[in-house]
């Protein structure tokens, strides 16, 4: 059987503690039951009932206070649960987003690679076209020079050969420069994309590390709060146990004192009664002796006046018993 004077459904605890009227109603109910209790310290049963009621009031206080404390603890946990679930939503949906977009991201990277490759091919084709135009112009100039060279001396032929060789060197150098520029452009584009991917990966790693550190901090804070709450609960329980023990000891001493006082009063009453009886017995004995003396004197007076002893005795008995009108023994 529950020792509380009132019981609240856990689902209704929040509504009760949010309302001062509800709390007042609960306290009023307990006060009403206490006020209607008729105490009796003169019997063991009455004293046990008083102790039981006091214990039930204390249990009601502990029950209601614990219910409110549990409710506060639950309400404090709600923001943490919300933040944890928000983080779960962010992390899981970010991962899902990345998973969904991964084929597109890979496709975009491939398109960038193809675009860079096409650009390099375009630059190479452009270089080839420029080389072809250069070769054509050079061939035309060579042909023209050759015709002129036929009309010139051997020295002019040597100069023409050197000019042709120089033109070939310039063409090759120009083609190499174009290839070098295209390769450099592709390298820069690849390095830029790689750097972006490295920075993005580093950012994701930093965010993951921060999330792990934040989760660890929250875990440690939760552990500390739980340890503190356990410590406070233990200290409170020890204090309440100490107070209950001290209260029980005081009640025990009070009960002993009450019993001792009752025993003393009973003994005093017994001695007073015995003294009263002794006084009454002594008074009766004294009165009896006083009557006997008077009756004896009256008997002697009757006998001395000629009345028979037996008759005188009967007369005294009749008078003492108030059986003869207008005659009375004056003791």
Please report the DSSP string for 213-243 in residue order.
HHHHHHHHHHHHHHHHHHHHHHHHHHHHHHH
What is the structure's pLDDT at 153? 55
Percent of the chain residues topping a pLDDT of 90: 1
Confidence tier at 64 by pLDDT (50, 70, 90): confident
Q: Same domain, yes or no, for 124 and 185?
A: yes
219 pLDDT above the threshold of 60 = yes
Confidence tier at 156 by pLDDT (50, 70, 90): low
| DSSP at 12 | G
55 pLDDT above the threshold of 80 = yes
Q: Same domain, yes or no, for 328 and 223?
A: no
What is the structure's pLDDT at 16? 73
Work out the angle at residue 243's Cα, subtended by the Cα atoms of residues 52 and 3, and round it to the nearest 5 degrees: 30
Residue 93 structure tokens: 């949906």
11 pLDDT above the threshold of 70 = no
Residues found in the chain: 331
Q: Same domain, yes or no, for 150 and 32?
A: yes
Confidence tier at 194 by pLDDT (50, 70, 90): low
302 located within any domain: yes
Instruction: Match 């509504």 to its residue by tokens.
Output: 15
User: From residue 161, how far is each of 148, 154, 164 by CA, in Å?
Assistant: 13, 11, 5
User: From residue 31, how far is each of 47, 59, 61, 186 by CA, in Å?
Assistant: 19, 14, 12, 89
What is the structure's pLDDT at 15? 75
Tell me the helices (H) and strands (E) count for the chain, helix number first. 5, 0
Q: Which of 210, 238, 257 is the last residue of a domain?
A: 257
More confident of the two residues 64 and 200: 64
Q: Which of 242, 257, 272 is the last residue of a domain?
A: 257
1 located within any domain: no
SS3 (DSSP) at 6? coil
* Minimum mean pLDDT range among 41-50, 94-103, 207-216, 284-293: 207-216
Are the CB atoms for 299 and 315 separated by under 8 Å? no
Average pLDDT rounded to a whole number, residues 279-290: 88
120 located within any domain: yes
Mean pLDDT of the chain: 79
Confidence tier at 170 by pLDDT (50, 70, 90): confident
Confidence tier at 151 by pLDDT (50, 70, 90): low
Q: Same domain, yes or no, for 25 and 139?
A: yes
Confidence tier at 229 by pLDDT (50, 70, 90): confident
CA distance linking residue 275 with residue 278, whole number of Å: 5
Q: Same domain, yes or no, for 19 and 157?
A: yes
Q: Same domain, yes or no, for 298 and 223?
A: no
What is the structure's pLDDT at 1? 39
Q: Same domain, yes or no, for 179 and 316?
A: no
Domain that includes residue 104, residue range = 10-257
CA distance linking residue 47 with residue 57, whole number of Å: 16
What is the structure's pLDDT at 300? 92
What is the structure's pLDDT at 159? 63
Confidence tier at 41 by pLDDT (50, 70, 90): confident
Percent of the chain residues topping a pLDDT of 70: 81
Q: Same domain, yes or no, for 146 and 226?
A: yes
Q: Which of 219, 241, 257 is the last residue of a domain?
A: 257
What is the structure's pLDDT at 5? 60
Q: Same domain, yes or no, for 149 and 61?
A: yes
Question: Which residues have CB under 8 Å from 229's CB, separation 6+?
Answer: 73
* Minimum mean pLDDT range among 8-12, 111-115, 154-158: 154-158
User: From residue 86, how far is each of 26, 83, 210 by CA, in Å?
Assistant: 39, 5, 15
CA distance linking residue 126 with residue 178, whole number of Å: 9
* Minimum mean pLDDT range among 68-77, 117-126, 264-273, 308-317: 117-126
Q: How many domains is the chain built from?
A: 2
Q: Same domain, yes or no, for 60 and 126?
A: yes
């Amino acid at each position: 059987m529950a020792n509380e004077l009132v019981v609240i459904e856990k689902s209704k605890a929040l509504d009760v503690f949010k309302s001062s009227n509800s709390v007042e109603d609960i306290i009023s109910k307990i006060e009403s039951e206490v006020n209607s209790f008729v105490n009796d310290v003169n019997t063991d049963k009455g004293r046990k009932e008083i102790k039981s009621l006091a214990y039930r009031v204390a249990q009601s206080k502990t029950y209601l206070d614990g219910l409110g404390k549990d409710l506060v603890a639950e309400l404090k946990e709600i923001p943490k649960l919300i933040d944890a679930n928000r983080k779960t939503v962010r992390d899981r949906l970010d991962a899902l987003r990345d998973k969904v977009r991964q084929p597109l991201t890979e496709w975009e990277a491939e398109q960038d690679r193809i675009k860079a490759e096409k650009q390099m091919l375009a630059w190479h084709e452009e270089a080839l076209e420029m080389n072809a135009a250069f070769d054509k112009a050079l061939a035309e100039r060579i042909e023209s020079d050759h015709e002129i060279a036929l009309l010139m001396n051997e020295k002019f032929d040597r100069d023409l050969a050197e000019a042709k060789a120089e033109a070939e060197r310039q063409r090759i150098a120009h083609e190499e420069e174009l290839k070098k520029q295209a390769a450099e452009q592709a390298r820069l584009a690849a390095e830029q994309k790689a750097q972006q991917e490295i920075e993005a990966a580093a950012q994701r790693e930093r965010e993951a590390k921060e999330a792990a550190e934040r989760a660890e901090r929250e875990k440690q804070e939760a552990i500390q709060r739980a340890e503190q709450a356990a410590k406070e609960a233990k200290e409170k329980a020890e204090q309440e146990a100490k107070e209950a023990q001290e209260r029980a000891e005081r009640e025990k001493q009070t009960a002993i004192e009450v019993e001792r006082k009752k025993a003393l009063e009973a003994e005093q009453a017994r001695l007073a009664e015995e003294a009263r009886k002794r006084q009454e017995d002594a008074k009766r004995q004294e009165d009896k002796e006083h009557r006997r003396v008077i009756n004896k004197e009256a008997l002697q007076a009757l006998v001395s006046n000629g009345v028979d002893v037996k008759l005188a005795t009967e007369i005294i008995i009749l008078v003492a018993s108030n059986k003869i009108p207008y005659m009375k023994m004056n003791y």
